[in-house]
Structure 1
């Protein structure tokens, strides 16, 4: 059940990150979920490194969204994604 909850929250976090940074990114719901889950992981690691979270404590929702946005920026830098094609 925890895994399903993590995927649901990941989907929500990833969707918020993509909403805040619109663009033409490939991938559907799975990529969005991965972005959110990975964003929460990155936020948790950074937060623990900075002393904001204790060991094993999950990152907050806003921090997770910020982590997902950071991953989306890095992803777009490496793939050239997020650019709108104008005809």
Structure 2
């Protein structure tokens, strides 16, 4: 139970950090930020575990860096898709 709660807290921090690092304004909700941050944290933990730097729920530098990079990609992709759907189409 504490692993899941810790993952949510770390995911929120990672998602917020990704939004701060990413240039421009991202008009995505705090819930989307949380979900993308958690997904980035899971990806970072999984990749770090493949490198032998702990398990998926263990907080370490390698996993954190990979998680932030993954969250940057996810937030950027999500913001790009959300921005495209809000724009008028020109022919």
Using structure 2 for the length normalisation, give the TM-score.
0.66
Asked if 1:10 corresponds to 2:5, the answer is: no
Residue in 1 that maps onto 2:29: 27
* Offset, 1:69: 0.4
Using structure 1 for the length normalisation, give the TM-score.
0.69
Of Structure 1 and Structure 2, the greater helix share is in 2
Contact 1:44 1:53 survives alignment (8 Å): no
Alignment of 1:1-87 (within 5 A): 1-22=2-23, 23-28=25-30, 30-46=31-47, 51-53=50-52, 57-58=55-56, 60-80=63-83
Gaps of 5+ in 1: 82-87
Q: How many residues align?
A: 77
Gaps of 5+ in 2: 57-61, 85-91
3-state DSSP class of the match of 1:80? helix
Q: Which has the larger radius of gyration?
A: 2
